């Protein structure tokens, strides 16, 4: 059975709103860079959801994060150099 558009209730649906998943026809569909929606309210809700979801992730590009990674890498390199006898660190065993 073919779905009818939830907006006009006349034409067959060609899409599903990516926010609420309701069927919508090509003429009634609200389209933007995020996809196809049944209306502006679903488009706004989807935009807000995406913004909140991406805001909750940790950024890997922060200066503090890069500094921590640099310190850890430097520490590992120094320990490896000590292990292979390239650098002598008192109190640490070498190979």
- pLDDT band at 85, cuts 50/70/90? confident
pLDDT at 76 > cutoff 90: yes
Q: What is the pTM of this model?
A: 0.55
Chain segment 27-67, per-residue pLDDT in tens: 999 999 999 999 999 999 999 999 898 875 555 567 888 88
Percentage of the chain beyond pLDDT 70 is 93
Are 19 and 45 contacting, i.e. CB atoms less than 8 angstroms apart?
A: yes
Are 17 and 24 contacting, i.e. CB atoms less than 8 angstroms apart?
A: yes
Residues 59-86, mean pLDDT to the nearest whole number? 86
The predicted structure's pLDDT at residue 9: 96
Q: Cα dist. 81→41, 70, 71, 73, 91 in Å?
A: 60, 16, 15, 12, 14
The predicted structure's pLDDT at residue 64: 85
Tokens of 79: 């320990």
């Amino acid at each position: 059975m073919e779905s009818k558009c939830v907006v006009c209730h006349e034409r067959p649906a060609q899409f599903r709103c990516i926010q609420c998943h309701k069927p919508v026809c090509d003429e009634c569909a609200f389209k933007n860079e995020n996809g196809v929606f049944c209306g502006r309210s679903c488009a706004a809700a989807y935009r807000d959801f995406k913004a909140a979801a991406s805001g909750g992730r940790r950024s890997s590009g922060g200066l503090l994060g890069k500094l921590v990674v640099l310190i850890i890498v430097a520490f590992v390199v120094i320990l490896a150099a000590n292990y292979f006898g390239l650098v002598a660190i008192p109190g640490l065993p070498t190979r």
